[in-house]
């Protein structure tokens, strides 16, 4: 079997054993998870593990999130295809690619330059033209392109950074892990006419969101 087909088969197994049994339903999310070549977002030595049910190291003490967590957070954003999305914590760029499959435009901020550069290269090589990546402190959001229909934060914050609610469009969804340094609660905030609806989606474990409205650098 060709390498490409082996990985396509691994993606199908990932969807059938890790995502659907745990409740992922959005057809578009499932299609994106079947399509995006996750193995190209990790080091060559880790490719065989790319579709396994856990996060993997991507260097600089950071990780590519577990496939289920990527699918779960993406589904929580309720994307239909026309959205402008802000992502904080580009990391490998894998989640960025999934968002780019499901929204009109993705703006992604990463604080570590070497990580951002690698993600940019991977995403360019795959031909994505609806992604903009900026190096900087993502706890400030990306004011220039606000408001956003959806904001996804893929690092854990002690509290909700205030710029996110300001940069969220009316009706927009913010999904963010909030809590301690080691475990957090995945929270969805929806901006609805003068009020904010808050839902807890479950426990999770992310690396730290480091910046002005996040954790201080070690
Ligand atoms: N979605 C990514 C997850 C990467 S881990 C993936 O699946 O590959 C979280 C990332 O958030 C790390 O790359 C880390 O450097 C980045 N990060 C942490 N604090 C940040 C901040 N204030 N602004 C931007 N990126 C940040």
For ligand 1, atom 10, the nearest C-alpha belongs to 89
Q: Is 115 exposed, middle or buried (0-12, 13-18, 19+ CB in 10 A)?
A: buried
The atom number, within ligand 1, closest to the CA of 70 reads 7
Portion of the chain with pLDDT greater than 90, in percent: 98
Domain contains 156? yes
Q: Which ligand 1 atom sits closest to the C-alpha of 55?
A: 7
What's the distance, CA 125 to chain centroid? 19
Asked about 65 being catalytic, the answer comes back as: yes
The string of pLDDT tens digits covering residues 46-69 is: 999 999 999 999 999 999 999 999
Number of structural domains in the chain: 1
Distance 112 CA to ligand 1 centre (A): 8
Across the range 103-111, mean pLDDT stands at: 98
Catalytic residue among 65, 108, 125, 129: 65
Examine residue 109 and state whether it is found in any structural domain, yes or no: yes
Residue 166 covered by a domain: yes
Contacts of residue 83, defined as CB under 8 A and 6 or more positions apart, other chains included, come to 77, 103, 104, 105, 148, 149, 150
Q: Is the pLDDT of residue 214 over 90?
A: yes
Question: In this predicted model, which residue has the larger pLDDT, 194 or 57?
Answer: 57
Index of the ligand 1 atom closest to the CA of residue 119: 8
Q: Span 189-199, mean pLDDT?
A: 94
Model confidence over 26-37: pLDDT tens digits? 999 999 999 999
CA atoms within 13 A on the CB side of 175: 23
- Domain assignment present for residue 144? The answer is yes
Q: Is the pLDDT of residue 218 over 90?
A: no
| Residues lining ligand 1, Cβ inside 6 A | 58, 62-65, 88-89, 91-92, 94-95, 109-112, 115, 137-139, 154-155, 207, 209-211, 214
Would you state the pLDDT for residue 22? 98
Tell me, yes or no, whether 38 lies in a domain. no
Residue 20: which of 68, 80, 78, 76 has the closest Cα? 68
Q: What is the mean predicted confidence (pLDDT) over 203-212?
A: 97
Handedness of CA 114, 52, 87, 186 (dihedral sign): negative
Distance 178 CA to ligand 1 centre (A): 14
Q: Which run of H or E residues covers position 178?
A: strand 168-179
State the distance from the centre of ligand 1 to the C-alpha of 153, rounded, in angstroms.
8
In this model, does residue 217 exceed pLDDT 90? no
For the question of whether the overall pTM of this predicted structure is more than 0.95, the answer is yes
Q: Which two tokens stand for residue 205?
A: 């474990």
Residue nearest to atom 7 of ligand 1 (CA): 64
65-92 pLDDT, tens digit per residue, is 999 999 999 999 999 999 999 999 999 9
The answer to whether residue 161 is domain-embedded is yes
- Residue 1: what pLDDT? 83
Distance 155 CA to ligand 1 centre (A): 6
Query: For residue 104, is it within any domain?
Result: yes
- The CATH number linked to 120 is 3.40.50.150
Domain that holds residue 142: 55-204
Look at residue 4 in the predicted model and tell me its pLDDT.
Answer: 92
pLDDT value at 106 more than 90: yes
The 3-class SS string of 13-82 reads: HHHHHHHCCCCCCCHHHHHHHHHCCHHHHCCHHHHHHCCCCCCEEEECCEEECCHHHHHHHHHHCCCCCC
Q: Tell whether 46 is covered by a domain.
A: no
Over range 213-218, report the average pLDDT.
Answer: 91
The pLDDT, as a whole number, for residue 194 is 81
pLDDT category at 149 given cuts 50, 70, 90 is very high
Residue 164: asked if its preceding bond is cis (omega within 30°), the reply is no
| Residue with CA at minimum distance from ligand 1 atom 6 | 64
Closest CA to 70 of 165, 183, 206, 182: 206
């Amino acid at each position: 079997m060709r390498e490409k087909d082996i990985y396509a088969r691994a993606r199908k197994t990932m969807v059938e054993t890790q995502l659907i049994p745990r409740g992922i339903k959005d057809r578009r999310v499932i299609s994106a998870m079947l399509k995006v070549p996750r193995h190209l977002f990790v080091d060559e030595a880790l490719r065989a593990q790319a579709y396994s049910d856990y996060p993997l190291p991507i260097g600089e003490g950071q990780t590519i999130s577990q496939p289920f967590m990527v699918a779960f957070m993406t589904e929580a954003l309720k994307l239909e295809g026309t959205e402008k999305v802000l992502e904080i914590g580009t990391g490998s760029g894998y989640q960025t690619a999934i968002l780019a499959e499901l929204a009109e435009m993705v703006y992604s901020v990463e604080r570590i330059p070497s990580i951002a550069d690698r993600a940019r290269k991977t995403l360019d090589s795959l031909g994505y033209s609806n992604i903009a990546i900026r190096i900087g402190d993502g706890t400030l959001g990306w004011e220039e392109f606000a408001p956003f229909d959806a904001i996804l934060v893929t690092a854990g914050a002690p509290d909700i950074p205030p710029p996110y609610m300001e940069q969220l469009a009316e009706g927009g969804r913010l999904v963010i892990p909030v809590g301690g340094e080691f475990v957090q609660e995945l929270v969805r905030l929806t901006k609805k006419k003068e009020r904010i609806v808050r839902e807890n989606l479950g426990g999770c474990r992310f690396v730290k969101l480091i910046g002005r409205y996040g954790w201080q650098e070690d």
